[in-house]
Structure 1
Amino acid sequence: MSAVKELTRDLENKANDFRKLEKDIQKNQQVKKKYTIQLGENELVLKELDLLNEDTNVYKLIGPVLVKQDLAEANANVRKRIEYISAELKRLDGTLQDLQEKLNSKQESIAKLQQRIQTLQAGKAKA
């Protein structure tokens, strides 16, 4: 098999890996967007709960039913949710950064392969 064909096959494999990384990044960005929205909603709920008096009735929607809930318990639940969502966002940021670094590395290796193929083809054209 000629060197150009071998390099071309290697290039195709790297391009497929590159596309897979792009899809993974896109999927992670969608999840991050969902968590960011949830974080904003929960922070808004927490602000609303902070405005209430201790003796105010608070209800939680469970399925189709509103269930009375203690204000302190509701506050604690929302804070735990915010903490969880924040941790997930931090984890996703790390994952996205790692994927982006892999994507950049793959892009560099693809560019080098393309250059080697062009050099080999130019050398054959002269011969």
Structure 2
Amino acid sequence: MANMQARMQALSEEFTKLQRDLQESVQARQRLEAQMQENLGVQKEFAQLKDDETIYKLIGPVLLKQDRTEAESTVNGRLEFIGKEISRLEGQIREAQAKIEKKKGEIIQIQTSAQAAAGGAQAVTA
């Protein structure tokens, strides 16, 4: 019986860690999604600019003039990187969810076994 309790405690700790990892992945994905929306907004602004308009980049407290091609390339590169990171995190999230479901099944199985053992012990003493 003590062995079952130790196993249950270990499974419970693993389950909690998996849930925490899942939550961190979901939060990271949400941050990336916010960054993606921000960069898509910048990309949309670039599309509305006329060819002769100037683009400035804020670096610390200073605005520096930036080449339009370079600015667009930077934003496109960011969007590509963010898209890849979101895909990677979605894979991690799916994997974590599958692991959580597996642990949940193991916990239920141990609980069922413990209840059956407790029920069997009560039947013998009665």
Q: 1:106 maps to which residue? A: 103
CA–CA distance in structure 1, aligned partners of residues 71 and 29 of structure 2: 25
Give the partner amino acid of 2:114: I
CA–CA distance in structure 2, aligned partners of residues 63 and 91 of structure 1: 31
Q: 1:26 maps to which residue? A: 23
- C-alpha RMSD of matched pairs (Å): 0.6
Q: 2:81 maps to which residue? A: 84
Q: 2:116 maps to which residue? A: 119
Q: Among the aligned pairs, what percent are the same residue?
A: 34
Moved over 3 A (4+): none
Q: 2:59 maps to which residue? A: 62
Q: Residue 69 of structure 1: CA displacement? A: 0.3
SS at match of 1:67: strand
SS at match of 2:72: helix
Q: 1:38 maps to which residue? A: 35
SS at match of 2:63: strand
User: What 5-or-longer segments of structure 1 have no aligned partner?
Assistant: none
Of residues 47, 54, 59, the one that matches 2:44 is 47
> Number of residue pairs matched?
124
TM-score (norm 2): 0.96
Q: Residue 53 of structure 1: CA displacement? A: 1.5
SS at match of 2:65: strand
